[in-house]
Amino acid sequence: MKLLFATNNPNKLKEVQAKLPQYEIVSLQELGITEEIPETGTTLEENALIKARYLYQKFQLDCFADDTGLEIESLNNEPGVFSARYAGNEKSAEANMEKVLTKLKGKTNRKARFRTAIALIQGGNERVVEGIVNGKIIEEKRGNGGFGYDPIFVADGHDETFAQLSLDIKNKIGHRGLAVDELVKCL
């Protein structure tokens, strides 16, 4: 079965393909869509639906889209829906991490969670599922894998950052992997 995935992020695509080997996952790039789909929602769920609806209206094919946010308790759940652009519209992972680490300097409460919302449109029917992983923000970056905030996030029950974990382990315990597990139940 072919499913369109509203992403041009090769890291997200790799994570999802690893979880759904029985499906042909097609990215925006493979369809020749290089422009970014506007994320004008105020929640992760709204943004995921906006992207999925855009893709479904354009191609009339089953599709899904995700939006992910890092929510840090002591920062009033920032960066949240603004995670990708936290330090500016250039979407720099390094600048985003530096902003988080700067804002957390001197704070003892470093509890955080990653949350992913996935909107699926299949046969015109819409569903939204979610994956959440709780953890904490450490004081300095560790690891070379992953992407985004992975080098500063450690999931509860683990000692390594998401950037230090293998893709297989991250997919089992991570927010996107958990959301994809929920997506599979809908397919």
As annotated, the active-site residues are 67
Block residue for tokens 């290089």: 34
* Cα distance between residue 47 and residue 24, in whole Å: 23
Instruction: Using CA atoms of 99, 7, 132, 21 in order, give the dihedral in degrees to the nearest 10.
Output: -140
Residues counted in the chain: 187
Task: Report which of 105, 41, 42, 24 is spatially closest to residue 72, judged by C-alpha positions.
Answer: 105
Query: To 5 degrees, how large is the angle CA 157–CA 114–CA 27?
Result: 120
Block residue for tokens 């829906």: 81
CA atoms lying within 13 Å on the CB side of residue 4: 23
* Cα distance between residue 183 and residue 75, in whole Å: 30
